[in-house]
């Protein structure tokens, strides 16, 4: 645990790269007098000194001093802190500690309490951990590392190249005309091709319960589910547009029968400051189908009611890409509305009955309460639209993540395939 981690209330850091091998435990020996713990050549006091001074100050490290600003690291088991210098720890390792256990904790259980480090950047002068899917902390350090190797290669005679142990570099150097930095920097970016039959035998592709096929099936199932969700929200967005269009037609009709056309609503100069006696009437228009989940839609689309509204079938697997609202249904609904409400007074009487708790018979899926009187669905249009946008973006991000896992799975097995091939030749 470093001081930077302590500032974050000792939350475990997220590893930014693969962890390297564990540190060696301290040497602990027992004799007839008292146990002895030696750590990096330092004889540790035993028993462990108290953390509290006589005056109440907090003491740290084996030197039992207060925090004076010197570089320290905290034990992830006992939470005591130690100076790098007192334990003869390399200061360059400060950013590489993933877990640190003090000599006392390591002596208790060397297997359980072993310090673990992040992998270090391959550039010798750098002491930072690598980033994911790389051997360097930054791209600049990667370029610098290979540039240094190239400079070193050009200075060495051919007979000394064997000491580098870089077979691929030796192949490039066999032909002086191929000593190109661009080619060298791209070396290892891709794996050699393998035939499908050879690779299929290696991963046992014909066995449905092989490790490769089980993982591949899991990834494909998640991907198919996300694709279904993406189609669903695309359909929901299209349906929302149709609901908005229907709402506009209804409100336009009420505007027409109330005699409050916008072109006639201008206030005369002599009536300036007075309210117009004719007010615009708008209904809420919330459609309850917009609240259904994917599974609920799949069930609903198989009902007789849905067959009158949507051009769907009764198949087990509903395809949201092909579902369309029946044009004749929208027209018939509007005619039904005009028949029920020949004037605005009829609509106001209907509004009073809804307010008093009477069941809604016309457009049972649509809220016909006046917009300003509906207290349940305020702002529904923005909420539904925001939900569609947010979920669509989330699903896209998840799809990209599973695609990366699929690419990573295939890449890992291809690497293992070529490693086995190379080992069998050696």
Quickly list DSSP for 192-229. PP--HHHHHHHTTTT-TTSHHHHHHHHHHHHHHHHHHH
CA separation for the pair 87, 100 (Å, rounded): 12
Query: pLDDT tens, 222-246?
Result: 999 999 999 999 999 999 998 998 8
Query: pLDDT tens, 314-368?
Result: 556 678 888 887 777 777 878 888 888 888 788 888 888 777 666 666 777 888 8
Kindly state the helix (H) or strand (E) to which residue 350 belongs, with its residue range: helix 344-355
pLDDT higher than 70, residue 126 = yes
For the record, the structure tokens of 393 come out as 């973006």
Average pLDDT, the chain: 77
Residue-level pLDDT at 87: 92
Q: Are 138 and 144 in contact (CB under 8 A)?
A: no
Residues 67-78, mean pLDDT to the nearest whole number? 90
Q: Are 13 and 90 in contact (CB under 8 A)?
A: no
Q: At what angle do helices 211-258 and 344-355 cross, to 10 degrees?
A: 130
Q: Which of the 8 DSSP states describes residue 33?
A: S
CA separation for the pair 261, 279 (Å, rounded): 10
Calculate the alpha carbon distances from 203 to 12, 127, 198, 209, 223 in Å.
36, 38, 9, 11, 21
ω before 47 within 30° of 0 (cis)? yes
Residue-level pLDDT at 2: 53
Q: Which of the 8 DSSP states describes residue 264?
A: G
Half-sphere exposure of 70 (CA within 13 A, CB side): 15
């Amino acid at each position: 645990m470093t001081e930077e981690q302590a500032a974050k209330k000792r939350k475990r850091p997220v590893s930014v790269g693969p962890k390297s091998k564990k540190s060696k435990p301290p040497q602990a020996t027992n004799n007839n007098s008292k146990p002895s713990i030696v750590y990096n050549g330092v004889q540790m006091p035993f028993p462990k000194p108290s953390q509290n001074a006589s005056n109440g100050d907090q003491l740290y490290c084996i030197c039992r001093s207060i925090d004076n600003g010197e570089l320290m690291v905290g034990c992830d088991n006992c939470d005591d802190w130690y100076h790098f210098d007192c334990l003869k720890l390399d200061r360059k390792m400060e950013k590489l500690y993933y877990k640190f256990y003090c000599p006392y904790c390591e002596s208790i259980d060397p297997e359980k309490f072993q310090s673990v480090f992040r992998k270090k950047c391959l550039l010798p002068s750098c002491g930072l951990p690598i980033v994911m899917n790389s051997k360097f902390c930054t791209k600049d350090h990667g370029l610098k590392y290979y540039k240094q190797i190239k400079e070193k290669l050009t200075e060495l005679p051919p007979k000394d190249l064997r000491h580098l142990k870089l077979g691929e570099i030796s192949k490039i150097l066999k032909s002086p005309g191929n000593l190109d930095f661009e080619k060298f920097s791209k070396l290892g970016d891709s794996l050699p091709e393998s035939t499908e039959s050879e690779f299929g035998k290696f991963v046992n592709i014909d066995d449905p319960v092989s490790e490769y096929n089980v993982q591949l099936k899991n990834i494909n199932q998640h991907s198919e589910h996300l694709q279904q969700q993406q189609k669903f929200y695309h359909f929901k967005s299209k349906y929302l547009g149709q609901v908005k269009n229907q709402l506009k037609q209804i409100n336009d009709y009420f505007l027409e029968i109330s005699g409050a056309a916008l072109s006639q609503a201008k206030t005369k100069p002599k009536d300036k400051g007075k309210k117009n006696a004719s007010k615009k009437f708008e209904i809420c228009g919330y459609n309850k189908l917009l609240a259904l989940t994917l599974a609920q839609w799949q069930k609903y689309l198989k009902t007789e009611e849905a067959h009158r509204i949507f051009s769907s079938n009764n198949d087990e697997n509903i395809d949201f890409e092909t579902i369309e609202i029946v044009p004749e249904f929208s027209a018939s609904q509007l005619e039904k509305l005009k028949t029920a409400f020949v004037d605005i007074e009829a609509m106001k009487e209907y509004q009073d009955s809804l307010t008093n708790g009477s069941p809604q018979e016309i457009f049972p899926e649509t809220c016909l309460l006046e917009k300003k009187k509906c207290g349940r669905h305020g702002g529904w249009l923005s909420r539904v639209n925001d939900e569609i946008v947010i979920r669509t973006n989330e699903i896209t991000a998840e799809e990209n993540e599973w695609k990366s896992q699929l690419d990573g799975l295939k890449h890992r097995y291809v690497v293992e395939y070529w490693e086995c091939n190379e080992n069998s030749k050696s």
